[in-house]
Structure 1
């Protein structure tokens, strides 16, 4: 889009050239930079030059306010946003340090009042932002319900489709493997196909379009599951369900992160885990609601069919919110009505980052204006997003990014740490309970309806106990949460397994099994529940983050499939005692893996994260291995010990204050 040049107001150089000149300022230092930066800033700029990943933290550091004002005005004119030139002049200065708005001379009293309110009332935002949060939360609930509706249905559909897993069947072992294969089919699809479709779907359809499409696939697959008549038809339906689960699990947290204000970004991204837990509870409610539904003259197994099909309801709700049909469309043909309403007119604002990637700067600005209270805030955030994207464009991409994920030591250590927490999310035993708790409670002595009621208690606890993670994950820390909760999960699974040694006629057996499962859930929900996705999203440098998240989600869904596949057979071969002991052992191992191979990422800048993951694995493991004895003497024996030498340079000041 071209614009006439006003000779009285010459156009500034392009934003790309100005950013390049700013980078030169950072590298060599000029009199202008010296005016605005102290000696510490020079050291920081040297680090930026030596560490290209750290440039992505804030590429505007070290640039004078006058230069930023010129860059903002040039950006507005270059991108067809001339009428907002004043907002972008101010926004470019604010983008350098959003919390230092009091020092920006261009701002008026009204501007400063808006920015003060943004800090003082960080949860006060336009309703459309919270509408978007609701949409993401419902998408998470779809995810949880897709995972858990099979729990109650497992009591009915296997015998209806010819799978008999009781001991009097000579083919029980084979049927148990088929049962596990069908239950795990969505996660097999996620691991081998679904997660890897995330990037192309997002590039083609955008964040909203991907969410809409995956919700549609989930709804269609659930209805298909309810209409199946053979085990392999059900397997195919559930495999297709994975095409909805995989891309959605990677897209929704990214969509929330890219549209949320910085001050509440972590809390909004965390809603994914909270509302996935809510969806798991809804799946159990569905099982109870349809338990007593009887067959009709032409439909057999109506209860389990309604259970499996009920997960389409929240998916339809997401689709309804993701697209809004305009009234004039009513007069069109049905074909054009559906096409226009479902693919063109989206109710939620699109991710401004995605729009910028398509060169749609005006749309990106209007999207941010719907998500922020003022045009100044929208201009600030748009200018910063564009600056980050320009820096990312200089980083490797495509196939090179996949190679660098494992070839570069810093990235490889992040991949190992993310892989560990994603793997342990499945092998900590929680999804064994989510998928098969009704079967477990039946073996403990519950009747079917009571087993479903006990499962509802598990789902409710999983949801309620996920809420504290919104605060603890950024205060107590990711690593500390895991090191605290893995040993607890190990103990509670052993407690559950050993409870099966209590005579079946005793009510104590039922009580202890239920208590052990509930305590395990209470330990999981604020720890290994929210940490993996949050950790994986921040561990990778931005230039390999998309491929890193695809790898991390593929790991979690692959092992989710293995858990769903093996547990029915494991329950028979190992007995309940051995099966729960097996997963208790993995929790014990998970404690050691986190201790030696998973660094803390809480509250660290990108530059500090680079330093964390640049420490050799052997050095990190040795440091924390020796720390076990040190912490035992200091915190258990209460000995007064001198502080340990810090593992990272930026810890020096913290250690000094502690001692």
Structure 2
């Protein structure tokens, strides 16, 4: 679909369960297309120095939209609940923002690479002038795109993209890294909180209205703490954001689960809210924006659309699976066991990211071919050597590292 034309988003509403499910089905299709198209469009249009920040803006404003949804919930929760007008207004209000976005899309430039693929070079140059602002830079990037698209066409000719995504080592490593961060975006536990926050708060002992109000706080924090990542994703990098935030998320989930053993209702509720809010603060600048930014830039040009689509399918597929399984997990394992399950996955994800995930900060899309040409085992051994070095520096001891000099924190 990305090869043919742009996408538009609509959100139909319904008054029965069947109509609502049909509406959600088509909404899910549009969300999947948007999740694939927007990061690719941004990655193709952005210069390397700010590509990460611009690519993650879509995730930031997705968090903004979620926050608006919670605000609408709070605003309409008590509006004629006797005739079920409240939830109709909650759902119906969500059509306003997409209408505004649809109007804004027409004023934005098309992807220059898309124009180049259609041999509309003058249109591509005009788009690059709008995006770069300097004719020389626009001409340079136009030439790079021309050369890369020629190479891409030659590489695509007669090839099975699905097969090559796993058989060619460079593609396989990009898929491995992208699928890992997409998988962990769901198994870090964020969507069980976003989807079922009101249910969690009700289980903690509050009324439904109070639970909706408490959920609003999580939505606000999700948006506010995504804003700093716009700056630090291109200064700190993708790996550090993930490695710093996953342990915090794990601790928060263990904390939330164990708080359900507290007998005092007021204390239990306060600590659960505190744990959920702290979890959202850790998630928003890390595992929130990084996966889609990473997947949009990791794949080589000729397979990027296919690879990004597969990565998005993974995250939304597991999102569906987790949303279906969570109520049963609460009954079977109780809140303590259910939250601990995802806390353990955060620790597993931290280990996998530390040893497997390469850094992509500040690299051109072409330079990333060299980054992913390094084997996973070589990368893991290097990270292990660096870990030993840091531990040695931390404790002031000398650690011999094979193939490198002796590192010491002593002068």
TM-score, normalization by structure 1: 0.58
2:310 to 551, 566, 569: 551
Residues 82-115 of structure 1 show CA distances to partners (whole Å, capped at 9, x for unaligned) of xxxxxxxxxxxxxxxxxxxxxxxxxxxxxxxxxx
Contact persistence 1:397–1:544 (CA under 8 A)? no
Residues 317-342 of structure 1 show CA distances to partners (whole Å, capped at 9, x for unaligned) of 112223xxxxxxxxxxxxxxxxxxxx
Q: CA deviation at 1:382?
A: 2.4
Contact persistence 2:48–2:363 (CA under 8 A)? no
In 1, the alpha carbon distance for the partners of 2:400 and 2:189 equals: 40
In 2, the alpha carbon distance for the partners of 1:601 and 1:643 equals: 25
Unaligned runs of 5+ in 2: none
Q: 1:287 maps to what in 2? A: 73
Unaligned runs of 5+ in 1: 1-200, 323-345, 647-651
Larger radius of gyration: 1
Q: CA deviation at 1:557?
A: 0.8
Say whether residues 1:440 and 2:200 are aligned partners: yes
In 2, the alpha carbon distance for the partners of 1:304 and 1:413 equals: 45
After superposition, the Cα gap between the structure-2 partners of 1:634 and 1:490, relative to the gap in structure 1 and judged at 3 Å, is same
Q: 1:584 maps to what in 2? A: 343
Residues 443-484 of structure 1 show CA distances to partners (whole Å, capped at 9, x for unaligned) of 112222221221111111111111111222222222222222
After superposition, the Cα gap between the structure-2 partners of 1:569 and 1:233, relative to the gap in structure 1 and judged at 3 Å, is farther
In 1, the alpha carbon distance for the partners of 2:273 and 2:360 equals: 35
After superposition, the Cα gap between the structure-2 partners of 1:479 and 1:452, relative to the gap in structure 1 and judged at 3 Å, is same
Residues 18-77 of structure 1 show CA distances to partners (whole Å, capped at 9, x for unaligned) of xxxxxxxxxxxxxxxxxxxxxxxxxxxxxxxxxxxxxxxxxxxxxxxxxxxxxxxxxxxx
1:457 to 194, 217, 229: 217
- Taking the TM superposition and a 5 Å limit, the aligned residue runs for 1:115-264 are 201-205=1-5, 209-210=6-7, 212=8, 215-216=9-10, 219-220=11-12, 223=13, 227-230=14-17, 232-264=18-50
In 2, the alpha carbon distance for the partners of 1:356 and 1:285 equals: 42
Residues 238-264 of structure 1 show CA distances to partners (whole Å, capped at 9, x for unaligned) of 111111100111111222233345543
1:601 to 330, 346, 360: 360
Q: 2:114 maps to what in 1? A: 354
In 2, the alpha carbon distance for the partners of 1:279 and 1:398 equals: 42
1:413 to 173, 176, 192: 173
Q: CA deviation at 1:628?
A: 3.8
- Taking the TM superposition and a 5 Å limit, the aligned residue runs for 1:72-87 are none
In 1, the alpha carbon distance for the partners of 2:137 and 2:386 equals: 45
1:387 to 147, 157, 168: 147
Say whether residues 1:366 and 2:118 are aligned partners: no
2:278 to 508, 515, 519: 519
Q: 2:323 maps to what in 1? A: 564
Q: CA deviation at 1:555?
A: 0.8
- Taking the TM superposition and a 5 Å limit, the aligned residue runs for 1:530-549 are 530-549=289-308
TM-score, normalization by structure 2: 0.91
Q: 2:397 maps to what in 1? A: 639
